[in-house]
Structure 1
């Protein structure tokens, strides 16, 4: 990644011009302040305010411009030396033109300020602007990197869920082909959620619940008497959440909570209020199921996505007690 001095573009950029526009506005504000201060007891308040602005603003702008316009053709030391040489030239011009025009007498303190303080401030302003621009670009790069990581994480889930759904439909086809058509429709709706919704950074929480209902329909068709999926949702279900967050918890529960005889019990609980969003999925587990910390892609995916989307504002817990696995996501919006 480039550092502030790694760029090699000659001339001015829009980012560099913006501080100059701010300086023009500041010069006008300075003139108004000086005029307001002097007009009370000085008849030449306009001249004094104008002279002061001319002595300060043009040199300051030229120092910033010198640092910006020559950054691609000169080293930092040469540019700084050029700025102080420019300050000496400004002092000569001011003593020859500005001071006599307004009847000023140059003092040692004013000369020192023109030679040292103003160029130093101009150089510091250039460094400050460069640092702000670099920080903004760094933030943009990090945001793009995080967005790319999210897309990769979401892409992990689509083939994973498709494989599980196809297995379910295939199992039903082997035993009862008449049930296959409505199952294909449910699978199409669930896959539409996976494909379409994951293209968006945020979706309504109720869309996640719709996906769970379609997925549950597939599971019930496979084992009508053995599958129990219960959903308890309370609060504002239109609250935006990242796609496939609750859906991943549910899919993981289905995958690791199915018994050999087809028994499956999953409870989904959603609570939304102004302070937090709680998404919980609990399921019975067979003795052959992995431990809470070893549920593979699903849990690892959720942890990484939460860290990217809600840094410091989310928590994910999963534990296994009394043959029941419970996974909980807590989010501070």
Structure 2
């Protein structure tokens, strides 16, 4: 099955996603591109009122509905205030260390469709000027955006159409290396979305049908905690595809598909997790089973939202999550293979 997966297709989709800004709640452009991608594969992506996307795929049998999810929204920021000197104060969208975006290039997206570039800095950005620049604690109150425009005061900035509440996206800085390594922001979880579409392309190209009807949910608010808080009533289980964490006592690497047995929301479904591990072994996949104590997923949001589903979590290993991340094409490929194997032969219906 690995040889049948179209790695080049998944990397093309990943490149498309990474070059399209999509902080949580600002996902209309990337969803339009995914809708077109689904159309070209012969599937229909429908938008929910919330802005999530659902792709439905017929199955061989009825009686169960298998849900698969991945989130296309990313970390970002929003204009909190325009400062008297023309710099922008911002507030975070999603959870990340402010040091990870210091000196990063960014784009301000106005509500009327204009864009302006800038750089994220501290209020004391130079050691040549500020003796305490190194010791300055990185927190929102000392961070600002320097616009690449000739502005000297708040009125100059407002004249550009920039206002409080405008979205700010970060430069993804994507590099795809001949070695197979991929360095970029926002691999969480655009690498997962690429794997999901890789499985979808495989189903379309090979003519395989999943065991039961599929509902692929592309969520747009995962980074702020409620991406898949609602799922369709007919869904009986949900397999979330998100990044696999790396570090500390975790066994996952950038070449693996990760199977998460438990995260901050508690343990995932026993039968689903066991079946995923069995399939990973059977398919000869490089994989890891890990515990993520500081992590939540779309499956977590669905369960907390009251969904009556079984849930599990897998994804490609991603190093330095919520920073300048890195994975390997093999991790994305193996995640797609595990997805395909699972939808063809899911876990037993009951414990």
TM-score normalised by length of structure 1: 0.23
More helix by share: 1
TM-score normalised by length of structure 2: 0.23
Bigger relative contact order (CA 8 A; separation at least 6): 2
